Structure 1
Amino acid sequence: MKKFLVVEDSPIVIKIIKHIAKLDPSLHFDTATSYKEAKTLLEDNGIDKYLAAVVDLNLPDAPDGEVVDYTLSLKIPTIVLTGSYDEHKRDEMLEKPIVDYVVKESRFSYEYVLKLIHRLHKNQHIKVLVADDSKTSRKFITTMLQPHLYQVIEAEDGQQALEIIQKDSNIKLLITDYNMPVMNGFDLVKNIRREVDKNSLVIIGLSTQGSGGLSAKFIKNGANDFLSKPFSHEEFHCRILHNIETMEHVETIQHAAYHDYLTDLFNRRYFYEKGEEALSNSHKKGTPTCLALIDIDHFKKINDVYGHDAGDHTLKEISVLLKQAFGRFIFARMGGEEFCALMPGLDINKATTLLENFRELVEDHIIMLDNTSVTVTISAGIASDENNSLDELMNEADRQLYNAKEGGRNQICAAS
């Protein structure tokens, strides 16, 4: 993560921020105690070095917030700190393209600031689509989003927005107006939800027709949330933040459900769900498919001799090689030292060649365990699909794996 800049004349505030930031090794920042010092730092280091600036509203050489205008003029996302709450000053600041306005009340205020820094870092990778037939409205929303570092794309009607989303699966947030030509907001949401669920794409509806019925209709048609125009700067960003974080929490849970905690490979559950689907497609298309069960030879000896941490490290190393060799296929850690790969499109000869190459890759790979270099080998069994079920393929591959083990290990056996 890039550094951020703290412009603050209070040693106590700087000390608190340093203390909280120490708890997170990804957070690094420079400090300036005056407008002059901040200007020198930015001129010497360059603005590209900094993700954002956290600036005090009242500095000895900039008592009227001049440093805020300076960092904004450099297009640096700016979080404003103030020692006291002033409604007029707050409104004045929120008229500017700042990230947020934070009162220095307690430790929680500074924790919130650091949370905003993390959010800005994440936002750089989030694509947002704004759909509105009014160029003025699109520009207004885009101007609110850009200081938060979102990647913003614009569409001038529902049809154009739908086409953009169909071409770009990386869009995570859609902000759409209701009244649009060609395709209105309701129809846009309905069409999107046929293909993309709420956990993969957040949709927030907008309209000047702020009746309860309109908001309910938007949400019933698949939107995650709704805002009536005009809305405040803070409400807009609070709604977006809430929905984005909810989506990210769901993604975290889904990742945990389908991934092995140690190696971050897919797990048995994922393999069976996606494997059944892929095998069914292969049967429909009549394409060859093979399944391989892979086992690390004498893995127990590594645990016994070097300890379980060394065993975990070995599993991680082999997992990296597995990703290199089988990245285009469905593969998973099935448990312990056993892995599985389903290879749609490969006949038995091609699958055997791939597994032989992988066996050689593993055999030649040096693993460092407590300053000791070791090597391991793998054995594998391959089954070829003949309109079998996934379980039948697994059983046949397991029999072939047994043959490979009985034959002396470090070899590949395939069903003839």
Structure 2
Amino acid sequence: MRNILVIEDSPMVLKILEHLFRQETGLQPVFCASLAEAEVMLETSAELFFAAIVDLHLPDAPNGESVDLVMRYKLPCIVLSGSYNEQRRDELLLKGVVDYVLKDNQHSYEYAFRLIHRLESNSQVKILVAEDSEATRHYIRHILTPHRYQIIEASDGDDALRILNEQPDIDLFVVDHSMPGISGFELVKLLRQQMKRNELIIIGLSADAKGSLSAKFIKHGADDFLRKPFCPEELNCRVMSTLERRDLMRALKQAAQYDALTGLRNRRAFHEHGQQLFEQAQRSGKHLSVAMLDLDFFKRINDEHGHASGDAALIAFAKAFSSQFPHALIGRLGGEEFAMVSSEDGASLGKALDQLRERCAGLKYAVGAPPLSFSAGVYHGHPEDLESLLHQADLRLYQAKTQGRGRTHWQ
């Protein structure tokens, strides 16, 4: 649970914020209606707060004193204002507030909550800034630091390439077009040959006035482009929007490849990855083992104890299955049917499945439900394709079922 300090005196704004907070189970607001209340709260409990949403103009703090107060305690500060003043906005952003949000419609308040959620995840985001101007690097760092990003700096293209090779977990790369050594433009082309867009976000920078430069940058792999000089708000918005777009693409990929209930690979992803493992085994002349598994009498669990119990059984089994075989490829093919590809031989896999069966018998997944049991078929060999392996394992699964279930048939 994240505690958010809200310093606001407007009844209408408070009503809107209270409504939005009710929809956020992970955020707990603490409201203060004046600078005096906020001073007492921060003096006694500042360490309990994650961030603050602060009204710029209060009756006892008409000139932004509430913002200065929050900044003294080094809390991320999102400023709300009922009027727009560009000079004042720039002053606040350069002072280090997270953002300056105008109180003009519902979307503005929702945007403030987006900022809070980004603050939660930004501490895990690494940004590399490649820029030969020390002043520009300092300016970018000053803008991005309030958002809690991890900032790394490079003074030229060669230095940037070295850092990217040493730290492959960098999320976002801000790169100037013209630098000593390898240019930013050539660096973008090189990186895009190695890394996909969902692996590294690239934002290009340039002071060049040519309108075609931004298109050239983006055509060769950059995700966005900023022309220098830029205002703090523009950089923050571009960085946040590209990260949100990246996260959305990852979420879509996750949904397309993994079963929503158990978190295991779905049928399509299992077959695609399994085919890759099979081709690797073919090239190296190795054999693979494939297992097909079915939960025993699963329909009875659904019919007699409800589908919620059936779902709980699938989740519990998937967790135990993954724990027992941490290095194997595991998937849920549909319903109560699961599959696995492993480099272990059939005998070893059969013994490990027997151990899993003992663990499953002791799992508590629903009140009054029967112990979990499964049947399995295992085949170890090197036939012509993955489908043949799966077919052989499925035949052995059928034999395990006909022999009474709750057992593994392997060869």
Into which bin does the TM-score normalised by the smaller protein fall? over 0.9
Percent pairwise identity: 41
**Number of the residue aligned with 1:94:** 93
- Find the aligned partners of 1:321 and 1:63 in 2 and give their Cα distance: 59
**Number of the residue aligned with 2:148:** 149
Amino acid at match of 2:325: F
**Number of the residue aligned with 1:7:** 7
The 5 Å alignment of 1:9-408 reads: 9-47=9-47, 49-343=48-342, 345-367=343-365, 369=366, 371-372=367-368, 374-408=370-404
Q: Closer, same or farther in 2 for the Cα pair 1:353/1:195, shift >3 Å?
A: farther
Q: Closer, same or farther in 2 for the Cα pair 1:158/1:18, shift >3 Å?
A: same
* 2:95 alignment partner, SS class: coil
Alpha-carbon distance, 1:138 to partner:
1.7
| Stretch moving more, 286-295 or 333-342 | 286-295
- Find the aligned partners of 1:352 and 1:167 in 2 and give their Cα distance: 41
Alpha-carbon distance, 1:260 to partner:
1.1
Unaligned stretches of 5+ residues in structure 1: none
* 1:179 alignment partner, SS class: coil
The question of 1:411 aligning with 2:407 is answered: yes
Q: Is the 8 A contact 1:133 1:181 kept in 2?
A: yes
Q: Could you tell me the TM-score, scaled by structure 1's length?
A: 0.93
* 1:383 alignment partner, SS class: strand
- Summarize deviations over 1:137-191 as a string: whole Å, max 9, x none: 2221111111111122222322332333334343221111122223221222122
Alpha-carbon distance, 1:198 to partner:
1.3
Q: Closer, same or farther in 2 for the Cα pair 1:164/1:341, shift >3 Å?
A: farther
- Find the aligned partners of 2:346 and 2:379 in 1 and give their Cα distance: 8
* 1:95 alignment partner, SS class: helix
Count of aligned pairs between the two proteins: 411
Alpha-carbon distance, 1:286 to partner:
2.8
Alpha-carbon distance, 1:373 to partner:
5.1
Q: Closer, same or farther in 2 for the Cα pair 1:102/1:277, shift >3 Å?
A: same
Q: Is the 8 A contact 1:348 1:414 kept in 2?
A: yes
Q: Closer, same or farther in 2 for the Cα pair 1:239/1:399, shift >3 Å?
A: same
Q: Could you tell me the TM-score, scaled by structure 2's length?
A: 0.95
Q: Is the 8 A contact 1:366 1:374 kept in 2?
A: no
- Find the aligned partners of 2:56 and 2:131 in 1 and give their Cα distance: 35
Alpha-carbon distance, 1:315 to partner:
0.8
Q: Is the 8 A contact 1:129 1:154 kept in 2?
A: yes
* 2:344 alignment partner, SS class: coil
Alpha-carbon distance, 1:405 to partner:
1.0
* 1:182 alignment partner, SS class: coil
- Find the aligned partners of 2:94 and 2:256 in 1 and give their Cα distance: 43
Q: Is the 8 A contact 1:189 1:223 kept in 2?
A: yes
Q: Is the 8 A contact 1:21 1:27 kept in 2?
A: yes
- Summarize deviations over 1:327-368 as a string: whole Å, max 9, x none: 32211100010111111x32223222322222222122222x
Q: Closer, same or farther in 2 for the Cα pair 1:292/1:160, shift >3 Å?
A: farther
Q: Closer, same or farther in 2 for the Cα pair 1:135/1:309, shift >3 Å?
A: same
Amino acid at match of 2:360: V
Alpha-carbon distance, 1:387 to partner:
4.3
- Find the aligned partners of 1:408 and 1:246 in 2 and give their Cα distance: 51
Q: Is the 8 A contact 2:125 2:150 kept in 1?
A: yes
- Find the aligned partners of 1:164 and 1:379 in 2 and give their Cα distance: 50
Q: Is the 8 A contact 1:210 1:229 kept in 2?
A: no
Q: Closer, same or farther in 2 for the Cα pair 1:157/1:354, shift >3 Å?
A: farther
Q: Is the 8 A contact 1:326 1:341 kept in 2?
A: no
- Find the aligned partners of 1:316 and 1:217 in 2 and give their Cα distance: 49
- Summarize deviations over 1:215-274 as a string: whole Å, max 9, x none: 222212211111111011122122222222221221121111111122222101111111
- Find the aligned partners of 1:139 and 1:87 in 2 and give their Cα distance: 22
- Find the aligned partners of 1:396 and 1:283 in 2 and give their Cα distance: 18
